[in-house]
């Protein structure tokens, strides 16, 4: 038997989430690697799944948890053997396939990557999908030609997981990073991560003009809606915007003017189905480039039971940085 958060659908369509005991027979049959989870984490998508605030879960019952790190127990996959250390991010886990907010999981070996040498399972989950997405966004800016001398980089949703890690990564690479947040009392925290300035998100979150004063060479946006649109309207000629989140909304009430008149580029960042090679490259850079002292400063460890209470806090935007779930605590 092992402990897990188990989600069931009530008769009225709402979600029932509780800490439960499960056994291996309840794990999915369509997996070729059985693993022991040492640490997981709770992301915005996990918060949506646990609270039922959005139709994230597509199959019932479900164990949430889109991220996991631990050791392989059993494997019929040629690339994995017992004792191997792994990282799992995305691939529909926690949505259509039982996830990692549990002490055990059965996964597909093709979904796993090897944990970089010297990186603990706890550190991997302190990074999690949020940090991995932040690195994908930062790499996209580099690949599109935005370097540290191009100008200021705006990071929206800055006190969240993606935003916090993005600031740490980009400032570590020598970029001038400006943080946008609704929590101005977190200014010292954001500057400790490397932000040179902090803006009130209210300046970006309401409808604005399609073309505004040019300021940003690049943007890492995890908010969407009017925030993304206003950020685009302020990007300098030839600049690049990466979009990876929808905390404010799925809508995109924008004009084509910035794209046509300023030649800017909008790059979508998908972490869920990203190719294996892309994942390995991102995790390699996280292992080598992310300041672990900054990572520790944005991380708080919680238990499986506490993950249930923290889910609505994440959805309400009340969680700073990263939550690591010690599934064995």
CB-based contacts of 272-275 (< 8 A; 24+ apart in sequence): 272/66, 272/90, 272/91, 272/92, 273/90, 273/91, 274/90, 274/136
- What's the pTM value of the predicted model, to 2 decimals? 0.93
- Retrieve residue 170's tokens: 């980009």
pLDDT of residue 227: 98
Summarize pLDDT for 193-240 with one digit per residue, the tens: 999 999 999 999 999 999 999 999 999 999 999 999 999 999 999 999
Q: Are the C-beta atoms of 227 and 209 separated by less than 8 Å?
A: no
Summarize pLDDT for 151-160 with one digit per residue, the tens: 999 999 999 8
- Retrieve residue 33's tokens: 């690697």
**What CATH number should be reported for the domain whose range is 129-268?**
3.40.50.720
Q: Are the C-beta atoms of 100 and 73 separated by less than 8 Å?
A: no
Could you list the beta-strand ranges (E) of 131-268: 153-155, 177-181, 195-200, 216-221, 235-243, 265-268
Which residue ranges make up each domain of the chain?
2-115+298-326, 129-268
What is the H or E stretch that residue 156 is in? Answer: none
Query: How far is the C-alpha of 150 from the C-alpha of 164, rounded, in Å?
Result: 21
Query: How far is the C-alpha of 165 from the C-alpha of 169, rounded, in Å?
Result: 6
- State mean pLDDT over 36-47: 95
- State mean pLDDT over 264-284: 96
- State mean pLDDT over 51-66: 95
pLDDT of residue 142: 97
Q: Is the pLDDT of residue 317 over 90?
A: no
pLDDT of residue 89: 97
Q: How many CA atoms lie within 13 A of 28 on its CB side?
A: 22
Summarize pLDDT for 283-314 with one digit per residue, the tens: 999 999 999 999 998 899 999 999 999 999 99
**What CATH number should be reported for the domain whose range is 2-115+298-326?**
3.90.180.10
């Amino acid at each position: 038997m092992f402990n897990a958060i188990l989600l069931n659908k009530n008769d009225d369509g709402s979600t029932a989430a509780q800490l439960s005991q499960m056994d291996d027979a309840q794990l999915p049959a369509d997996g070729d690697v059985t693993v022991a989870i040492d640490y997981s984490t709770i992301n915005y998508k996990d918060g949506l799944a646990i609270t039922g605030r959005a139709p994230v879960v597509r199959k019932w019952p479900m164990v949430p948890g889109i991220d996991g790190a631990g050791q392989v127990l059993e494997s019929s996959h040629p690339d994995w053997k017992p004792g191997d250390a792994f990282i799992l991010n995305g691939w529909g886990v926690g949505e259509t396939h039982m996830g990692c907010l549990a002490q055990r999981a059965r996964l597909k070996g093709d979904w796993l990557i090897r944990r970089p040498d010297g990186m603990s399972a706890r550190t991997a989950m302190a990074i999690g999908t949020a940090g991995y997405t932040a690195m994908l966004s930062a790499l996209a800016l580099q690949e599109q030609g935005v370097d540290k001398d191009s100008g200021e980089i705006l990071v929206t949703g800055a006190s969240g997981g993606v935003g916090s890690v993005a600031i740490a990564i980009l400032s570590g690479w020598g970029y001038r990073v400006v943080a946008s947040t609704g929590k101005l009392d977190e200014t010292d925290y954001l500057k400790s991560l490397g932000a040179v300035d902090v803006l009130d998100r209210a300046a970006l979150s309401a409808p604005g003009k399609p073309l505004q004063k040019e300021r940003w060479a690049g943007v890492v946006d995890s908010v969407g809606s009017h925030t993304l649109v206003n950020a685009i309207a302020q990007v300098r000629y030839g600049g690049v915007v990466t979009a990876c989140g929808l905390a404010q909304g799925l809508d995109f009430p924008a004009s084509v003017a910035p794209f046509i008149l300023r030649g800017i580029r909008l790059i979508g960042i998908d972490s869920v189905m990203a190719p294996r090679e892309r994942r390995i490259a991102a995790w390699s850079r996280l292992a080598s480039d992310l300041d672990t002292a900054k990572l520790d400063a944005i991380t708080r460890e919680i238990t499986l039971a506490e993950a249930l209470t923290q889910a609505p806090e994440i959805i309400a935007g009340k969680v700073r940085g990263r939550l690591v779930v010690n599934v064995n605590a």
